[in-house]
Amino acid sequence: MLKPKTGTLRMRALGAMSGTSLDGVDAAVVETDGEQIFAFGPSDYLEYTPEQRAVLSAALGLWWEDDVAEATQVVMAAHEALLSRFRDVDIVGFHGQTLMHEPRGRGTHQAGDGAELAERLQLPVVWDFRSTDVQLGGEGAPLAPFFHFACAKYIGAKAPVAFLNMGGVGNITYVDPSFAKPEAEGALLAFDTGPANAPLNDFMQARRGEPFDRDGRLAAQGTVVEGALELFLDDPYFSRIPPKSLDRNAFGDMVGLVKELGDADAAATLTAMSAAAVMRAMEHCPTPPEKVLVTGGGRRNPVLMEMLSVSLDCPVMAVEEVGLDGDMLEAQAFAYLAVRVARGLPTSCPSTTGVKMSVGGGQVSKPLKTQA
C-alpha cells in the first residue's frame, strides 16, 4: 500500500474514468505531488451490466435539464461500489460519464455528482474537470495531456513521443519532454484524432448483438472498401488545425457509410477509418515522434494495431512496452489531475484544449462533516 511522506506534497490520489465506449469504470491510485509521478498504486475495474450500458447509451446526447436521473444513478452506484474498495486514499478524481460534449455550443455534460460522492466515500472529491476550460474558450478535451507529460518524464523519454488513446473517441498527445513544465509553449500538442472504437462497437451491437469486435476477429475476415474510407476522410474535421475535440457521436454517419456492406467488410472498413484518422492527425505534429504509445481498448485489436503500424512513419506499440498500464492510464490521469486541482496548478493550456490561457479546471467537494 502506498504511504505518503510526512512534510511533502505527495498524495495518494484515486482516479476514476468511465469512457465513451460505455464498457465500465476504471479506478487507479497514483502517488504524486501533481507534478512528478512517484509511484503507481493498485487499480480495479467494474464492468457495466448490459442493462446499465443500455441506460447510459439511451442518455447519450442529453443535457442537465433532460431526464438523466436513471443514467446518473447508474454512474453514481457504479463509482461508489468500485471506489469504496480502495483504502488509505487522500483524494478522489471523479470524471463522471460524458453524455454530451459541445464546446462550441452548449458546453459539456458529465453525469454524476461529486459532492454526493464525497459524502458517500467520506473523502474529498475533485470533479467537473471540463467546464471551466470550456467557459474560457477551450475545447474541454482532451484532459490527459498534462498527465502524459508526467508519464513521459516517468519513463525517461528524451525525444518527443506521442500517446495515442484509442477509446470510444481517439485522441493524441505529442509530448516534448525537454521542457520543464507541461504548460510551457511547445511542450504539448493534444487533440482528438477522430472516432476510434465507438462506431465499430455500435455496429457490432446493432448487427451481431456483441459489444465489440473482440481481437479484431471480424475485421480480419473482411476487406477495406476504399470508397467508403475516402468519403470518411473528406470530413472537414481532419483539416481543422488543433486543438480540437469531438463528441462521441460526432461521426454518427460512419455506420451509414458501411450499411450496404457485409459484416466483415464493414468491420474492416470501420477499423480502417479509425486508423486513417490517426494518420491524418500525425500531420499536425511539429516533428515525427520517436514512437507512438497506444492506450485504450484499441491497442488490444491486432487489426487496428497493424493498420496503425503500416500507416505511421514511426514505431507503434502498446504503452505496456514502456512499463505503463494501458487499461488504467485514463483513470490514473484523473487521479493526477485531482492533485493538480487541489494544489491550484493548471490542468490545460492553449496547446492542449485551445483555452485562452493555462487554467486549472475542476471543483473540490469535501464531506460535510470534515469541511472547515
Q: What is the mean pLDDT of each run of 10 residues along the chain (372 residues)?
A: 55 94 93 98 97 95 93 98 98 96 87 97 97 92 95 98 93 97 97 92 93 96 97 94 83 88 98 97 95 95 98 97 96 98 97 95 88 48
Question: Which 8-state DSSP code applies to residue 330?
Answer: H
Residue with cell 470550456: 134
User: In the prediction, which pLDDT does 1 show?
Assistant: 37
User: In the prediction, which pLDDT does 4 show?
Assistant: 46
CATH, domain 11-130+331-344+360-370, list 3.30.420.40, 2.30.29.30, 3.40.50.10190, 2.60.40.10 = 3.30.420.40
Give, in order, the Cα–Cα distances in Å from 106 to each of 59, 136, 137, 316, 361.
16, 13, 12, 36, 18
Whole-prediction pTM: 0.91
Give the list of residues 6+ apart from residue 150 with CB closer than 8 angstroms, or none. Answer: 32, 35, 36, 37, 182, 336
Contact 201, 297 (CB under 8 A): no
> For helices 198-208 and 263-282, what crossing angle results, to 10°?
170
**Structural domain spans, the chain:** 11-130+331-344+360-370, 156-322
Alpha-carbon span 82 to 185, nearest angstrom: 38
- CA 91 from chain center: how many Å? 20
Give the list of residues 6+ apart from residue 21 with CB closer than 8 angstroms, or none. Answer: 167, 168, 197, 198, 201, 212, 297
Domains 11-130+331-344+360-370 and 156-322 alike in fold: yes
Alpha-carbon span 316 to 299, nearest angstrom: 10
CATH 3.30.420.40 fits 156-322, yes or no: yes
Strand 161-166 vs strand 125-127: parallel, antiparallel, or unpaired? unpaired
User: In the prediction, which pLDDT does 6 show?
Assistant: 47
